[in-house]
Amino acid sequence: MKLAAALAMAAALSAAPDIYLVHDTPGPMRALAAILEKNGYRVAVEEQPAFRAHLGSLTAQAIFMYVHDEFEAPIEKRLIEWTRGGGRLIVLHHGMASAKMRNRDWPEFLGVRILPRDHPTHAWKVLRGNFQLVNLRPDHWVTSHRVNWPKTVAYTPSDSPSVEQILPAIELPDTELFHNQLFSDARRKTVLLGMKGEIDGRVIMQDRGGWMMPAGKGWVFYFQPGHFARDLQNESYSRIIMNAIEWQPPAERNPGHSEPRAPSNHGR
């Protein structure tokens, strides 16, 4: 009986997903799941009611948070605990948008603040149009390993004062992005990606396309594109996302330093 129980437990563990995609908008997450599965990951795509069943025994390699509307407090609390305990949390698009300011701990945990839409200087805006995802850290493993950057663009970092630079970029046509996600944790983050686009005749550039930061023993990544499935199906962008899953921190845990990941069978 003990052997049978041990074998059953081993079978259950071997069948457990590598990745959870927690969402309330299935289309983009199903598209992402198909990409991850093609690259060898075991993936569970779950809305919050189904994901609640796993809160007591999370063993995933990474968890993606893609909840647009109400983010349940027990899941919010557990994901924060799990990440600080050594987990890899990847927040996509509206996982950090205006609705999340209703959550008690999420904005502080991510170090992001969003001001009202009528704020005189830093009003929150949802933007639609053609955008470029710009590589602000070409030296970093997440943005460079097997990533094809098909063009370059002129970009002035929003961390002013800065000068215009020519940087690698990816085109993301007809998508949705955000303006004025304000950092509230000083220099804790390593900014990886910027966003550039023209809205109503005005060129907007902000260093908010993607970032990473340590959280306790774990790591958080945030990537702003992902409103539509086609965003995630961009091969360069999906490779960046997979690099975020696989990246391994150096021994000194300096989040701005790029080192090769540990050997993995995924994506081979």
- For the cut 60, the answer to whether the pLDDT of residue 267 exceeds it is no
- Kindly state the average pLDDT of the residues 98-116: 96
Is residue 13 very low, low, confident or very high in pLDDT (cuts 50, 70, 90)?
A: very low
Residue 184 is predicted with a pLDDT of 96
CB atoms within 10 A of CB 264: 13
Q: What is the DSSP secondary structure assignment for residue 186, as one 8-state letter? A: T
DSSP E strands, 156-200: 165-179, 182-183, 190-199
Report the alpha-carbon distance of residue 146 to residue 194 in Å, rounded. 19
DSSP calls for 50-66: HHGGGTT----SEEEEE
Rounded distance between C-alpha atoms, residue 131 and residue 227, angstroms: 13
d(CA 192, CA 209): 7
Model pTM? 0.90
CATH number of 15-114+123-246: 3.40.50.880
In this prediction, residue 16 carries a pLDDT of 86
Q: Distances from the Cα of 48 to the Cαs of 33, 43, 51, 53, 75, in angstroms?
A: 16, 15, 5, 9, 8
pLDDT tens per residue across span 49-78: 999 999 999 999 999 999 999 999 999 999
Domain boundaries in the chain?
15-114+123-246
pLDDT at 189: 97
